[in-house]
Each structure stands twice: as C-alpha cells, then as structure tokens.
C-alpha cells in the first residue's frame, strides 16, 4: 500500500507536469499531494511502530525490575517524617 501511494503520487505529479490543460494539471497536483502526504504518514507510522516499546509490562517483568532494584536481605528505605510547618 505504501509503495502504491508513493507511485500514484509520482505519476500524478508527472501528469500535472506533462499536461497542457489546467484541469488535468490541478487534478494531478491535488492527487499528488494527497497521496504524497498519505505515503509520508504511513512511513512515519511504520518507523514509530518499529522503534517503540510495548506500553504495558507483564507481572514477571515487574517482579524482575523490582528484584533488580533491591538487594537481597535489604529492607526498603523510607523517608524521615517531614517537620510540621
């Protein structure tokens, strides 16, 4: 689909460049911009999906992170109570 949009965009700009009629030129420019913007958005979407991490962690992953943060036998540290104002 993405390469089809890019190809249609190029062909539409070629039609706009090669035509002598203002109607065909306008149609070619319109289709070229719409398909070009669509192809660019699909490229951006694919890149973002390929480089993003999943949003949610499983219970096993959370336990592994918590285990890596604490040493064995160490009690969790707590902040001292704040002074009253």
Q: Where are the domains of the chain?
A: 2-50
Tokens of 78: 């707590």
- Report the pLDDT value the prediction gives residue 33, as an integer from 0 to 100: 96
| pLDDT reading at 70 higher than 70 | no
Mean of pLDDT values over 8-37:
95
- Considering the entire predicted model, what is its pTM? 0.60
Q: How confident is the model at residue 12 (pLDDT cuts 50, 70, 90)?
A: very high
DSSP labels, 20-79: -SHHHHHHHHHHHHHHHHHHHHHHHHHHHHHHPPPS---HHHHHHHHHHHS-TTPPPP-P
């Amino acid at each position: 689909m993405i390469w089809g949009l890019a190809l249609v965009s190029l062909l539409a700009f070629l039609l706009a460049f090669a035509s002598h009629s203002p109607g065909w030129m306008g149609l070619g420019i319109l289709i070229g911009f719409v398909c070009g913007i669509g192809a660019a958005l699909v490229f951006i979407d694919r890149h973002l999906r390929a480089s993003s991490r999943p949003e949610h962690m499983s219970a096993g992953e959370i336990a592994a992170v918590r285990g890596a943060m604490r040493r064995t036998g160490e009690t969790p540290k707590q902040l001292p109570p704040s002074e009253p104002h």
